[in-house]
């Protein structure tokens, strides 16, 4: 459908079509914040916008529109504004995935308004999944980009895992290590390099776990499990504020998330792949 202007126009005019509404990194949600609030094509919020086609959900065309930036999002009767993290935490998985797709695309459009080859303005095509250079001598197509990043749980046996924290995180939050993949390296090499750079540890038996789109702003998190071949931590202060080994007993005292009441350490968000890695280890390590 992206490649057919006629089909896209028909979907736009379809009275069943639904529109997700975004303002900066905020999404319009239902008042109870249990899912995304969508609107019809006739809704005033949809006018004077450049919609992105997201696809069909249960046979219904879904689009996304982004409102012009202002100091505050406009009030909407029957809806509230909240972040994509809240959408991911509370909304059904399919709806959260659609919202993540919308935010990732909007971020890409904002930063690719000009051609990276000749500098001419670009315009969007194929329902917003391609930007074309307006210079006839160039006419280069540009597609959405995703930055691959590895995130890894490192253990030194059945009873300890390594967690670290960055200074900008919420108080007490500890998480698995992560970093971006560099040109010319495999994912397994990226895991080994990042662990060595951040905490000075050698790793072995690097095994793939799962992946998670992370549009903050445009990453794909590729999860791995690895075994430590050394245990003496040397924290790179440019990368991390701190890092240490935690036993199973120590992890039992962690708060469920940084937002949970209390003091001391906290797990990362329940929707994160970091949390999935930790949960998997807790369930499978004895």
The predicted-structure confidence for 211-222, as pLDDT tens digits, reads as follows: 999 998 899 999
Q: Are the CB atoms for 209 and 219 separated by under 8 Å?
A: no
Q: Which fold has domain 5-111?
A: Nucleoside Triphosphate Pyrophosphohydrolase (3.90.79)
For the record, the structure tokens of 118 come out as 């000749």
pLDDT at 49 (0 to 100): 87
What is the reported pLDDT for 261? 85
Q: What pLDDT is stored for residue 204 in this prediction?
A: 97
What is each CA distance from 198 to 41, 172, 274, in whole angstroms?
A: 49, 19, 17
CA angle 25, 31, 32 (to 5 degrees): 100
Mean pLDDT to the nearest integer, 237-262: 93
Question: pLDDT tens digits for 31-72?
Answer: 999 999 999 998 998 988 889 999 999 999 999 999 987 778
- For the chain, residues classed under CATH 3.90.79.10 are 147-284
Measured CA distances, 126 to 6, 48, 120, 263, 281 (Å):
11, 19, 19, 50, 42
| Residue 201: predicted pLDDT | 97
pLDDT at 69: 74
pTM: 0.90
Please write down the HEC assignment for all residues of the chain.
Answer: CCCCHHHHHHHHHCCCCEEEEEECCEEEECCCCCCECEECCCCHHHCCCCCEEEEEECCEEEEEEECCCCCCCCCCCCCEEEEHHHHHHHCCHHHHHHHHHHHHHHHHHHHCCECCCCCCEEEEEHHHCEEEECCCCCCCEECCCCEEEEEEEEECCCCEEEEEECCCCCCCECECEEEECCCCCCHHHHHHHHHHHHHCCCEEEEEEEEEEEECCCCEEEEEEEEEECCCCCCCCCCCCCEEEEEEHHHHCCCECCCCCCCCCCECCCCCCHHHHHHHHHHHHCC
Percent of the chain with pLDDT strictly greater than 90: 87
Residue intervals of the chain classified under CATH 3.90.79.20 are 5-111
What is the topology classification, in CATH, of domain 147-284? Nucleoside Triphosphate Pyrophosphohydrolase (3.90.79)
Give percent above pLDDT 70 in the chain.
99
Token pair belonging to 157:
């046996």
The band of 285, judged by pLDDT with boundaries at 50, 70 and 90, is low
**How many CB atoms are located within 10 Å of the residue 46 CB?**
18
């Amino acid at each position: 459908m992206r490649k057919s202007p006629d089909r896209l126009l028909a979907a736009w005019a379809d009275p069943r079509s639904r529109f997700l509404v975004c303002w900066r990194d905020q999404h319009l949600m239902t008042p109870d914040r249990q899912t995304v609030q969508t609107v019809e094509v006739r809704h005033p919020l949809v006018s004077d916008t450049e919609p992105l086609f997201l696809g069909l959900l249960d046979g219904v065309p879904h689009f996304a529109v982004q409102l012009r930036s202002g100091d505050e999002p406009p009030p909407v009767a029957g809806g509230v504004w909240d972040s994509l993290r809240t959408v991911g935490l509370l909304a059904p998985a399919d709806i959260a995935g659609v919202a993540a797709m919308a935010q990732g695309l909007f971020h890409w459009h904002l930063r690719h308004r000009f051609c990276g080859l000749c500098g001419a303005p670009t315009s969007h095509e194929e329902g917003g999944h391609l930007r074309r250079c307006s210079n006839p001598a160039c006419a280069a197509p540009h597609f959405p980009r995703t930055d691959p990043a590895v995130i890894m749980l490192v253990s030194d046996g059945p009873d300890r895992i390594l967690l670290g924290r960055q200074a900008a995180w919420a108080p007490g939050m500890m998480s698995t290590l992560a970093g971006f993949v560099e040109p010319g390296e495999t994912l397994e090499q990226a895991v080994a390099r990042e662990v060595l750079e951040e905490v000075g540890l050698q790793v072995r038996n690097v095994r793939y776990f799962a992946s998670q789109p992370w549009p903050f702003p445009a990453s794909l998190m590729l999860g791995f499990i690895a075994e430590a071949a050394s245990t003496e931590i040397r924290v790179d202060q440019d990368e991390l504020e701190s890092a240490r080994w935690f036993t199973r007993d120590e992890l039992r005292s962690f708060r469920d998330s940084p937002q949970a009441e209390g003091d001391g350490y906290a797990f990362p968000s329940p929707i994160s792949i970091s949390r999935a890695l930790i949960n998997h280890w807790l369930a499978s390590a004895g």
